[in-house]
Amino acid sequence: MSLRTRTRLFLAAGMGLLAFFIYGLLGLPPVGQQISGYATKLNSLTVPARHITDTVTAVNFDFRGFDTMGEEYILFTSVMGVLLLFRTQRDEVEEAPRNHAPGRQAPPSSDAVRVCALSLMAPTLLFGIYTVTHGQINPGGGFQGGVILATVLLFVFLAGDYEIFRKMDAHRAVELAESAGAAGFVLVGLAAIILNKPFLENVLPLAPAGTVLSGGTVPLISLSVGIEVGAGILLLSTAFLEEALVLKSKKGG
- Write out the binding residues for another protein, residues 11-50 only, by CB under 8 A: 11, 13-18, 20-39, 41-48
Residue pair 209/51 in contact by the 8 Å Cβ criterion: yes
CB neighbours of residue 3 within 10 Å = 7
Site for another protein in 206-225 (CB under 8 A): 209-210
Enumerate residues 6+ apart whose C-beta is below 8 A from 210: 53, 137
Options 150, 152, 182, 223; binder of another protein; rule CB under 8 A: 182
By CB under 8 A, residue 110 contacts another protein: no
249 binds another protein (CB under 8 A): no
Q: Is the dihedral of CA 90, 91, 97, 99 positive or negative?
A: negative
Residues in the chain: 253
Comparing CB distances to another protein, the nearer of 121 and 137 is 137
Give SS3 for 101. coil
Task: Map the footprint of another protein across residues 117-136, applying CB under 8 A.
Answer: none
Spatial contact of 68 and 58, defined as CB atoms under 8 Å apart: no
Among 73, 129, 158, 213, binds another protein (CB under 8 A): 73
Stretch that binds another protein, among 54-62, 107-115, 123-131, 158-166 (CB under 8 A): 54-62
Q: Does 7 participate in binding another protein (rule CB under 8 A)? A: yes
